[in-house]
Amino acid sequence: MRAPTTRRDETVVDVIHGVTVADPYRWLEDQESPEVADWVSAQKAVTDAHLGAIPQRDELRDRLAAVWDHPKVGVPWHRADTWLQMRNTGVQEQPVLWTADAPDAEGRVLLDPTELSEDGTVSLADVALSPDGRLLAYGTSDGGSDWITWHVRDVATGMDLPDEVRWAKFASAAWLPDSSGFFYGAYDPPEAGTEMAATNTHHQLRLHRLGDDGPDPVVHRRDDEPEWGFSPAVTEDGRWLVVTVWQGTEPRTRLHLAALDGDPATPDIRPWLDDFDGEYTVVGSDGDTLFVRTDAGAPSGRLLAVDAHDPTQPTEVLAERAEALVAVRWVAGRFVVVRVVDAVHELAVHDRDGARITVVDLPDLGSVGSITGRSDDTAVHLSLSSFTSVASVHRLDLSAGPPALREVTPSPAGVPDAVTERVMVESTDGAVVPMFVIHRTNTIGPGPTILYGYGGFGIPLTPEFRLWWTAWLERGGTIAVGCFRGGAEYGRAWHDAGRLDQKHHTFDDALACASWLVEEGWTTPPQLAITGGSNGGLTAAASMIRAPEAFGACVPEVGVLDLLRFHRFTIGWGWTSDYGDPDDPDDFPRILGMSPLHTLTEGTCYPPTLITTADRDDRVVPAHSFKFTAAMQRAQGCDNPVLARIDTRAGHGAGTPTSKVIDARADVLAFLVHHLGDPADHPGAVSGSDDGRPTIRHAKG
């Protein structure tokens, strides 16, 4: 089937800073339109027909279902004597929240999200346990939306209280010290029909008292700063309300502070660390001293001890090092510290004054996941994973002697015979970019290869196990993960080197990594795909458009693809921190020159492309993918397909039911197998054992 022809409205033309810009597919922004619904149906029919004709599709789905079917557990955490842990027995549609009286006890189910909807699309988006451990505030997301509705459950009985708090977004709940209510972040209710696209501004900090059914009082807002958002936290001792003030995805924050010694509905919230000169995060407290991780004056990060009453004379506890400081936990009078060393985590323990006690031995080329522990605990729990091993839960004992790391939840078998190599790739301007190459030990190149990257918003890519890559690696395929500029693998400087007027470095790095993979014999351009999600979708699409001959396939997922209108929907305005502001005449030419929607050239032969999105994505609204699909289908100068995979009752990714995730990953893999060549048919592909499963031999890279 050929791609359907999309109607063009030639009357939609903008003049932006004197430049005429046509937007003939703007009508696709209206998701409530019957015409858009018909367009979606037509696109889905073509995509389903193409994917349905791929012989390996069902095989890949079955293999992924088998790969997914093993127990998964999160890191346990607690308040008072109540311990919580997320668990999934295998292919449950959503992780289930369990409670126990000890971190290693069996416990019982406290909340099963699959009981909240018939199709499993209502997910558990956030939870906050009251200080006394008796009550759970839990936020639910409907169909993957960023909107959260808060509920309260009695831990002992498993029954919900009548409380329901709607229109919360972009902030967790922070309980009052006496467990009588919680602070949360929210917006005014949007107009009916605009919930999934309306711009989100004028965030508010509110207080919900248990049992109140009237409007919750607003305890903090700034009408003169419509782009400010507020994230609350209460220190463990209950003395201080810390409000992190953020502005979109700007890599700087402010900290406001209030003593919780009066009416919590009218706290005296005052500016505390308010210079907006870096990112500030409170990681613990000791009486009137708050410990703050920041990159202000230290692009790679440092730790300060700051007086709650006088923040003007902080004490430096951990000085800046070349390696980025990404996490700190204050437990048992010690700091558990994570730094990034050439895109791999280092775990260390320091004393109260900052002196290093020990560096904890970790698996080579691994990452530390979430770390839990309270100031009066004697240990922390954390997860460890790599590209070739599933995340497992460990306990780090801090009570006596050198801190000892012990695995408490064994990791299931990882990728058979898989190894990871970290290489350094020289980019176009001489910058050195880390890249990980993951493959089977007997893989023979060149062969089918997936290049994955992100490169934005100060988010580092460190080793992480992705279940869907297993099926690709088992077939003999290769995965490459590039740490492009725009992330934070080397702290704030690496982020700054890939945003605003330096954003082109992200795409330069992606193309440099693609060239390296070819030059070093791992793959050839027809066998190489570039993929990524969200900002990574922009990276994939923009890189492919710059050099379509460099790739055999492209999969931009839930991508930011219309860079002239991203700021007009939901929280998109916040992304000007990385992309710039299309309404700024100085930013506009650069943004226009990198926007995938606006840089397609008609008649160019682009590689086979699968564009993925979801109907309830209110982070990167589907219009980005809809308009890009229509424009690329028109521009395509050869027979290579341009397809849109549009999911329903799903959002930007978080909370998607397991069955939907498996279906989506199987479709992406089938598309890549078909257009790059099946790694299983490639010379050197790994054969299976007698029972049909690959022979397993562990190897650390």
Task: Indicate which residues carry an active-site annotation.
Answer: 534, 617, 652
Across the strands, what pairs with 82? 79
Reported in sequence order, the residue ranges of 535-656 that DSSP labels E, i.e. its strands, are 553-557, 609-614, 642-647
Reported in sequence order, the residue ranges of 308-444 that DSSP labels E, i.e. its strands, are 315-318, 324-331, 334-341, 344-350, 356-360, 366-372, 379-386, 392-397, 404-409, 418-426, 432-440
CA quadruple 290, 294, 584, 489: dihedral sign: negative
Q: Tokens 């300060």 label which residue?
A: 304
> Which burial class, exposed, middle or buried, applies to 41 when counting CB atoms under 10 A from its CB (0-12, 13-18, 19+)?
exposed
Helix or strand (DSSP H, E) at 513: helix 504-519
Prior bond to 446 cis, omega within 30? Answer: yes
Look at residues 502, 528, 559, 556 and name the one whose alpha carbon lies nearest to residue 675: 528
- The C-alpha atoms of residue 123 and residue 198 are separated, in whole angstroms, by 22
- The C-alpha atoms of residue 250 and residue 584 are separated, in whole angstroms, by 17
550 C-beta neighbours (distance < 10 Å), count = 20
Antiparallel, parallel or unpaired: β 609-614 and 642-647: parallel
Q: Are 240 and 256 in contact (CB under 8 A)?
A: no
Antiparallel, parallel or unpaired: β 553-557 and 609-614: parallel
Which letter, b or e, does each residue of 406-438 get, where b requires 16 or more Cβ atoms within 10 Å of its Cβ? Answer: eeebebeebbbbbbbebeebebeeebebbbbbb
Secondary structure (DSSP) of 178-194: TSSEEEEEE-PPPPTT-
Largest Cα–Cα distance in the chain?
Answer: 74
Q: Quick one: angle between helices 658-676 and 467-474, nearest 10? A: 30
Across the strands, what pairs with 349? 336, 358
633 C-beta neighbours (distance < 10 Å), count = 22
- What CA–CA distances, in Å, run from 348 to 275, 318, 321? 30, 12, 13
- The C-alpha atoms of residue 694 and residue 661 are separated, in whole angstroms, by 23
